[in-house]
Homo-oligomer: A and B are copies of this chain.
Amino acid sequence: MPEGRTGQGYGSESLLFLTDEQLRQGIEAMFFAYRGFTADPDRILAEMSYGRAHHRAIHFINRSPGTTVNNLLSILGVTKQSLNRVLRTLIGDGLVISKVGELDKRERHLYLTDQGAALEATLSDAQRARMRAAYKDAGPEAVQGFKKVLEAMMDADMRRAYAKLRD
């Protein structure tokens, strides 16, 4: 069983010795912060009986218009059946359209409709506002550290997906 140092007196300037206490604080910060991170979109979505899964689909379709279902699948990390249920309601409600691929007719390319783009804007405005406030509160020098740790926390395949989206 791995054990960190339990003593005191080590600040973040210590490279090698991270106390269990420091690590635990990071873990709990992550837990509470994620709740805040999703709180605003959750509120908006609840009013229209959508959930987080709808938000995620809308977000990444907006990021990569024309993406295929399979593509979206690998980004979201869920089963195709789970994604399909969400897409079905979004398509049914006229927020997303699905076009059969021209080269490969098995593929479906996904796009937001105007209505879908409007919801996306509402959701991401709320989430950006919170992120902007957090960045301001924490100070601009904190932003790089924040992103660095998060990126280091991802599994390799997520890091790839994350990096790909930055292009």
Residues of A participating in the B interface, judged by any CB pair closer than 8 Å = 1-2, 4, 12-15, 18, 20, 22-37, 39, 56, 63, 77, 121, 124-125, 127-155, 158-159, 161-162, 165-166
The dominant DSSP class at the A interface is helix
Task: Count copies of this chain in the complex.
Answer: 2
| Residues from chain B with Cβ under 8 Å of A161 in the complex | 32
Cα distance A31–B153 in the bound complex, in angstroms: 11
Q: Which of B33, B153, B154 contacts A131 (CB 8 A)?
A: B153
Q: Are the C-beta atoms of B143 and A27 separated by less than 8 Å?
A: no
Contact status B132-A23, CB under 8 Å: yes
Q: CA–CA, A33 to B150, complex, Å?
A: 5
Contact, CB under 8 Å: A135 / B56: no
Q: Can you list 10 contacts pairing A with B, beta carbon distance less than 8 Å?
A: A2-B128, A18-B132, A24-B63, A26-B131, A27-B131, A28-B165, A29-B162, A39-B155, A145-B149, A146-B149
Answer whether A12 and B140 are a contact pair too, CB < 8 Å, given A33-B150, A35-B77: yes
